[in-house]
Amino acid sequence: MQSIALKKIVAIAAALGLMTLTQQAFAQDDAFDLSVPKPDAEAGGSADLECGTEMLTGSGPGFTADRDKAETVAIEDWMEKAAKVFPDTDLDFDLAKDSNLSCAVQGLYSKCFADGIPCKPKAE
């Protein structure tokens, strides 16, 4: 009789542990959430910047074990798309309007997304 009750308790504990594990595996990584606006960013944008009209998104081809690499690949992909908006210009993701760098995490792997409206310094 005791072994049946013990087996039920172990089964319930395993089910709860599995549910917790799957929730964490597909969770957004809030510890490294970079979606908060930059403190020095002005609400209406900077007067010395010329900005595009559309939001662009860059990301890597898939999940990778190296988070820094996932962030770099996302920004590089964004920069390639932004170069089509402003060709022959040295662009910088830090100048992008409404920029956001976020990563989805599955276990030890990350896939990052760089979003923003490309901007360049105005010609003088």
Are 50 and 119 a contacting pair, CB within 8 Å?
A: yes
Q: What 3-state DSSP class applies to 22? A: helix
pTM as predicted:
0.62
Residue 100 lies in a domain: yes
Q: What 3-state DSSP class applies to 13? A: helix
Residue 67 lies in a domain: yes
Neighbour-count burial for 92-110, b at 16+ CB within 10 Å, e otherwise: ebebbbebbbbbbbeeebb
Measured distance CA(78)–CA(94) in Å, rounded: 12
Question: In the prediction, which pLDDT does 35 show?
Answer: 52
Residue 105 lies in a domain: yes
Residue 87 pLDDT > 80, yes or no?
A: yes
Confidence of residue 67 (pLDDT cuts 50, 70, 90): very high
Question: In the prediction, which pLDDT does 91 show?
Answer: 85
Confidence of residue 97 (pLDDT cuts 50, 70, 90): very high
Please tell me which residue, 13 or 118, carries the higher pLDDT value.
Answer: 118
The domain of 85 spans 27-121
Question: Roughly how many angstroms between the first and final C-alpha of the chain, as a whole number?
Answer: 86
